[in-house]
Amino acid sequence: MEIDRARLRDFIEAHPRLFVLTGAGCSTDSGIPDYRDTHGGWKRPQPVTYQAFMAEKATRQRYWARSLVGWRRFGRARPNATHHALARLEQHGRLTTLLTQNVDGLHQAAGHREVIDLHGRLNEVRCMGCTVRLPRDTFQQALVELNPAWALLDAGDAPDGDADLEGRDFSTFDVPPCPHCGGVLKPDVVFFGENVPRERVDAAVTSLNEADAMLVVGSSLMVFSGYRFAAAAARAGKPIAAVNMGKTRADPLLSLKIEQSCAEALAFVS
């Protein structure tokens, strides 16, 4: 374990301009569950797709009912040692940009400045009609006012502000429409089956081009939206290190892999 940390320290010191990509493993110590097991498989049923959310009222009822319960703890999550270690690396001038697949905003809460939220942020809700945005806390109040009985429920946490409420009838759950145009409100995050905004991808590619190496922290890279950057780094001849518990999609591309918790592996950063 100590040898692995030393190897990671050497990698970081040898590459002063790192492009960092983070995933769910960064936030598990903050109480936010991750999606995948050590083999890269799903721990739970796959998340809702964009197509189902937009097409089916029942899917939106199920999503927002679970989110009402899950947001209570997700919204109070705080940065952990991993977020703070990466923020310190930025303060030391060792990073070009941090690209995160997470939607929790915890890197920014830890003081990280140059962050690209690849999949958006869960703390805002967007109207799919008029594109107006609302704070998630404001929308939470509207959900609770319309569904007071649901607000009394408790359930186990699931990834990204979801909650395990299996076996319940969601047909009576009332989802408020956009207060401006009456349209469908959706969390301002990229769902499965939805495209990442082009400007985020372009900004990340520019940052990767300026870097001399890539560091992956807490991601299996099983989703192509993240894996594409490891593939691009490999094509450009940039070395890639990864800190992740278990398999990653980019294993054949890695120069260094550390199978420890993110906080343990980065504990040397001060």
For residue 180, indicate whether it is catalytic: no
Residues contacting residue 71 through CB under 8 Å, at least 6 positions apart: 136, 140, 161
Could you tell me the two tokens for 232? 């691009």
Alpha helices for 152-223 (secondary structure H)? 198-210
β pairing state of 185-189 and 256-258: unpaired
Beta-sheet strands, E only, within 67-212: 95-100, 115-117, 120-127, 133-135, 157-158, 162-163, 185-189
Of 83, 84, 107, 119, the active-site residue reads 119
Going 136 to 141 to 142 to 146, the CA torsion angle's sign is: positive
Q: Are 52 and 59 in contact (CB under 8 A)?
A: yes
Residues 245 and 260 sit within 8 Å (Cβ to Cβ): yes
Q: Cβ atoms within 10 A of the Cβ of 147, count?
A: 20
Helix (H, G, I), strand (E, B) or coil at 239: coil
- Residues carrying an active site annotation: 119
